[in-house]
Structure 1
Amino acid sequence: MSKNGFTTDVVHADRRMGTEHGAVHQPLHPSSEYAFKDARELAAVFQGKSGFSYARQGTPTTAALEQKVTQMEQGVASVSFASGMAAISAIFFTLLRQGDHLICSKYIFGNTNSVLGTLQQFGVEVSLVDATDVEQVKAAKKSTTRMVFVEAIANPGTQLADLAGIGEWCGDEQLLYVIDNTLSGPYLAPAKQFKAGLVVNSLSKSIGGHGHALGGMVTDTGLFDWESYPHIFDAYRVGNSQAWGMAQIKKKGLRDMGAAMSSDAAHRLAVGAETLPLRMRQICSNALSLAQFLVQQPQVVAVHYPGLASHPQHQRATDYFQGLYGGLLAVELHPSIDVFDFLNRLNVLALSTHLGDNRSLVLPVAHTIYYEMGAKQRALMGIADGLLRISVGIEETQDLLADFKQALAAYPM
């Protein structure tokens, strides 16, 4: 383990891996296939030896990004995917089988919820629980339970799961614990510290940060005993058992499903990752200032942000993330305000879906990312028609506050 700080390690990661001509970045390898001088070497790569044969299973560029994210999450190995949703789907569909039971937080991203519906059609039972309370997670366990899946900070409601408590319990029960770390990210807290076995990051969000490349990553922390997992295919039960899980995720998720990240995207994301700590500090500072401002406005019914003392998991967030609370706010406007008219009055924020970007983004939750759920399910999740999701960026704080101030001024109360 390096004795350097997070920023120093990520900035110098590329050149320390070894590059040609003293380059400070890993090169971009766009080739889709790789040739060999010896046919035996070609066969050896197909039989499990480290190397590259076809870009669908990885390139030197994606491998360099994998090594960088593995370092950030303090893991042992990573596999890159075309998007965060591809990474999540790969975990579910390569490691779960008909008759298995999955315990999942009920506070999850809409698209992840949609995947769970598909998973149930394949015969996997899913229990949605309030993961902010470890006792509710425990109560859901069955003899067929194989996996527990939570988001570190929920999208869009910002609920914070009992990450440490669930991790302790999963370790005792030998259950595979998967944390989607996208909204907190490895800079706020590597998921390994909560004893996750696998970590998901949507690299398109804060790790990449610039809104110009899609990518997802699954990282193995090295804490889960894959020898005890019943669904590892015989072909991958060779060599060091610590590598079995990732071998199966890579072969089934990339080779069979084809959800491969491009080298171009990997290169963009790797360069973006270098400024992650700087961006996250400004984003978290902006988000806290904006939350503190909005919670005082009469036009605002509620502000959900872990940095506010009123947030149900504020102390937990403080303990976990050491005073940095992420860049996501959920803001509920007064029912008398037309959410679309209000959004159209904003000048600085972009009306867009995405998270963890350099620029602040906002959208109406019920009408977009949770529209397919229907009104009944939205009501159960506490998603009002006037709920806004705000992904705070790196702009000057005063500009963000002024933008909301002028928009709210149109609705005197």
Structure 2
Amino acid sequence: MMNDTMEDQKGFTTTILHSDRLLKPEFGALHQPVHTSVTWGFEDVQGLVNVFQNKAKGYAYSRQGNPTTTALEHKVTQMERGKATVSFSTGMAAITATIQSLMKAGDHIIASSFLFGNTRSIMQTYADIGISFSFVDATNVENIKNAIQENTKMVFVETIANPATQIADLAPIGDFCAEKGIIYVVDNTMTSPYLFNPIKVKASLVINSLTKYIGGHGDALGGSVTDTGLFDWTSYANIAQVLREQIKPDMLGITQIRKRGLRDGGGTLSPEAAHTISVGAETLALRLERACHNALTLAQYLENHDMVSKVYYPGLSNHPQHALAGNLFKHYGGLMSFSLKDGIDLFAFLNRLQLVVKSSNLGDTRTLAIPVAHTIFFELGAASRAEMGIPDSMVRLSVGIEDTDDLLQDFRQALEA
């Protein structure tokens, strides 16, 4: 039987490849089968009662999970070197469930001002019902410290911001949250567990949109929350008393997320999607090696092109957090953006791209491009976009695994047409 921590395992890819098999699914299957049953029967009613009362492991109703999603959660926990994981139907469902489960009206959250648009939008929704937020420049821990209040319960940041690639001051923020006893949530989607493990910077909870690099093929939606085991949930006031009486202390936080966020919120990951994501995860390291290489090569090409005004990519030496990224991450990621110079027709340029797909997703095997201000950040308005450093001419790229020369040639012909 596999242990739950990567330190006790083989290499990253070897561990993920054999994760299901070593959990011994039926008939020697190499993958956990797709369990489509919604409900589960028991020969003895006491067994059903024990599952409901958290006295025994098992399955009663698939809204809270089934063996297929459990296998994926085990795999994500291994990748993140964490304690336990809960999976969801999307990454946004995971974020929503985390806030919904652990916060109460009157609580305060400090969040990066560079958060993904939908994440910021759901936070505004929660602000409307009594949770307060302070959005600050998270590239400097001093801004986090200056925003602290007596009712601050959580700090929420991303590793690499989408689309302008700002990198949070991850380790100092982790130290500060640990000192103050504040939940530290790190969204690891843009780096993935292959490039970075937020447990290294004392994250309490790690969010992943499984749709992106972990699944990696643009064919299944999913999200996850992983408890690193570093936060002391026994001292956290918002844990339900009924759970304190039933659940081991180190599992209180993740169990409350599963109960209140998944069971009550209903954002259940389907077994079919869980299986697809689990299989896609096996090639995470291989895909990211190529995607990161392509992204750096393309960023260097665009940086020197006379039609490009600015390139946003942590792998470039002029990026404000270039050194930090080099210290934290295995590579610089597959996310990048660039802005065209004034007078160049943005839409005409994008329409000339032949290999690159005009699309809104991230982490696909194919390279995807989207005009940021007109689409994913349109609803924020011009003032908020300016605050986040998003010009109207910005193009966001999710760089894929195409042959590098073919990718460069597509940009070359589109820019020079």
Relative to the length of structure 1, the TM-score reads 0.98
- Residue number in structure 2 paired with 1:281: 289
1:10 matches 2:16: yes
The letter of the residue matching 1:284 is C
> Aligned residue pairs: how many?
409
The letter of the residue matching 1:148 is V
1:304-343: CA deviation from partner (whole Å, max 9, x where unpaired): 0000001000000000013x10000111111211111110
Residue 377 of structure 1 deviates from its aligned partner by 1.3
- SS at 1:97's partner residue? coil
Candidates 23, 31, 53, aligned match of 2:29 = 23
1:156 matches 2:156: no
What is the percent sequence identity of the aligned residues? 54
- SS at 1:359's partner residue? coil
Instruction: Measure, in 1, the Cα distance between the counterparts of 2:242 and 2:378.
Output: 42
Residue 46 of structure 1 deviates from its aligned partner by 0.8
1:207-251: CA deviation from partner (whole Å, max 9, x where unpaired): 000110000000000000001111011111133111111111111
Candidates 309, 315, 326, aligned match of 1:318 = 326
Candidates 366, 370, 380, aligned match of 1:373 = 380
Residue 17 of structure 1 deviates from its aligned partner by 1.1
- Residue number in structure 1 paired with 2:180: 173
Q: For the Cα contact (< 8 Å) 2:115–2:162, is it kept in 1?
A: yes
Candidates 268, 283, 302, aligned match of 1:260 = 268
Q: Which runs of 5+ in 2 are unaligned?
A: 1-6
Give the CA RMSD over aligned residues.
Answer: 0.8
- SS at 1:201's partner residue? strand
1:127-160: CA deviation from partner (whole Å, max 9, x where unpaired): 0011110111111101110000000110111001
1:30-60: CA deviation from partner (whole Å, max 9, x where unpaired): 1111111110101111111311011101010
Q: For the Cα contact (< 8 Å) 2:295–2:333, is it kept in 1?
A: yes
- SS at 2:19's partner residue? helix
Residue 253 of structure 1 deviates from its aligned partner by 1.2
1:41 matches 2:47: yes
- Residue number in structure 2 paired with 1:246: 254
The letter of the residue matching 2:323 is Q
- SS at 1:248's partner residue? helix
1:107 matches 2:114: yes
Instruction: Measure, in 2, the Cα distance between the counterparts of 1:3 and 1:118.
Output: 42
Instruction: Measure, in 2, the Cα distance between the counterparts of 1:46 and 1:374.
Output: 47
Name whichever of 375-384 and 206-215 sits farther off. 375-384
Instruction: Measure, in 2, the Cα distance between the counterparts of 1:254 and 1:128.
Output: 27
Residue 379 of structure 1 deviates from its aligned partner by 1.5
Candidates 320, 329, 341, aligned match of 2:336 = 329
- SS at 2:206's partner residue? strand
The letter of the residue matching 2:290 is Q
- Residue number in structure 2 paired with 1:140: 147
Instruction: Measure, in 2, the Cα distance between the counterparts of 1:241 and 1:338.
Output: 58
1:255-283: CA deviation from partner (whole Å, max 9, x where unpaired): 11110000000000000000000001000
- Residue number in structure 1 paired with 2:4: none
Instruction: Measure, in 2, the Cα distance between the counterparts of 1:23 and 1:2.
Output: 23
Candidates 50, 58, 66, aligned match of 2:57 = 50
Residue 407 of structure 1 deviates from its aligned partner by 0.6
1:230 matches 2:244: no
Q: For the Cα contact (< 8 Å) 2:212–2:363, is it kept in 1?
A: yes
1:301 matches 2:309: yes
The letter of the residue matching 2:105 is Q
Instruction: Measure, in 1, the Cα distance between the counterparts of 2:193 and 2:227.
Output: 13
Q: For the Cα contact (< 8 Å) 2:9–2:15, is it kept in 1?
A: no
Q: After TM superposition, what 4+ stretches of structure 1 lie above 4 angstroms from structure 2? A: none
